[in-house]
Amino acid sequence: MDLDEVVSRLETLAPPSLAESWDNVGLLAVSSVPSAVRSLLLTVDLTEGVLREAMKIPAQMILAYHPPIFRPLLRLGGSTWKERVLTGALENRVAIYSPHTALDAIPGGVNDWLAGCLGEGSRKPLSQSSWDTGRQRVDIPLPGGFDLKPMIARLLELQGVSIMSGSSSPGTRLSLSCHRSGVLEALRVINDYEEVRSSVEIVGLVKAPLPGTGMGRFCRLTNVSPLSEVVQMVKEHLGLKHVRLALGTGRSLDSSVKTAAVCAGSGGSILDGVEADLYLTGEMSHHQVLDAVSRGTSVILCEHSNTERGFLPHLAALLAPLLGPEVSIHISTEDSEPISIV
């Protein structure tokens, strides 16, 4: 399959617009003469071992969940492992794509998979994603007694302009929703009314929430279980023998878990301040754990990529019908969490 077509289909599954603003997602590296994609290798981290594995397959593309290009690179050569990975991929015409937090955000993505270890219950994003509607909001503060009818009649004649709210009571305002192309036309009408034209505000883009989409998950469990059982459920789901546990103040292993806040990877900033019986994530800073514990919230830490890697088989199943028989999908056997508890 042509590389551009593969990228287009990957972006259909996890649109880059859903990624966090600090993230670096999408097609990150490709040679000047890209190869058609016959084999795709899935990994969490793109290491030298994973690159060697890709070349043995051989794979023409690597989907690395964590972006291997994140902080600015000052040079490309062979002095560091990351430089060797990137130059090696380019020299062997292996393209690199990263979905990262876009894949976290989607319904059925990494965070929903991780939350699945807690059993049945309701889930909602901790941070709601939204989409750009292509419209802007224009607010017009109104003086008392201002007759809105003539201006509204003219505004409604414009294409792409609709009235969101408005009255002529003192201290209120008229709010318009305008397509970008209609903003200037609306302003031309408003400018004819001296009482209001000097106070018009273009508030910004109107965004609509995307249900079930966003960072992290807040889970309200159907079957309330003691913390000791939840710990075992997490271990089984992630295939781990050990996890790290911090008991919330006044809590014990027998304490019931009714609510949980979940975030794959490094969840400290997403989970911060969320009221829940339990936080489940890969890693948090020492002081973030202390803050949670002080509020009576217990914390399970599984190490960063242990909360993500188990999603790769599910990702392969999602990609198979999307890419069809033209592209064979492989899951890295070299990829692993670098930290173990001994």
For the chain, what are the domain ranges?
A: 3-103+310-331, 110-126+216-302, 130-210
pLDDT digits (tens, 9 = 90+) for 152-170: 889 988 988 888 775 545 4
pLDDT digits (tens, 9 = 90+) for 177-219: 888 778 889 999 999 998 888 888 887 776 778 889 999 999 9
CA 239, 244, 246: angle at the middle one, nearest 5? 140
Using left for φ > 0, alpha for ψ between -120 and 50, and beta otherwise, residue 102 falls in alpha
pLDDT number for residue 199: 85
pLDDT at 24 over 90: yes
Q: What's this model's pTM, rounded to 2 decimal places?
A: 0.81
134, 179 in Cβ contact below 8 A? yes
pLDDT digits (tens, 9 = 90+) for 59-101: 999 999 999 999 888 889 889 999 999 999 999 999 999 999 9
Mean pLDDT of the region 248-260: 97
pLDDT number for residue 168: 45
Domain 110-126+216-302 has CATH 3.40.1390.30: yes
Q: Which CATH superfamily is domain 130-210 in?
A: Metallocarboxypeptidase-like (3.30.70.340)
Q: Which CATH superfamily is domain 3-103+310-331 in?
A: NIF3 (NGG1p interacting factor 3)-like (3.40.1390.30)
Same fold? 3-103+310-331, 130-210? no
**76 CB contacts (<8 Å, ≥6 apart)?**
83, 86, 87
pLDDT band at residue 270, thresholds of 50, 70 and 90?
Answer: very high
Question: Could you tell me the strand order of the sheet in which 61-64 lies?
Answer: 26-29, 95-98, 61-64, 39-43, 328-331
**Both tokens assigned to 207:** 């965004």
> Mean of the per-residue pLDDT values for the chain?
93
More confident residue, 295 or 149: 295
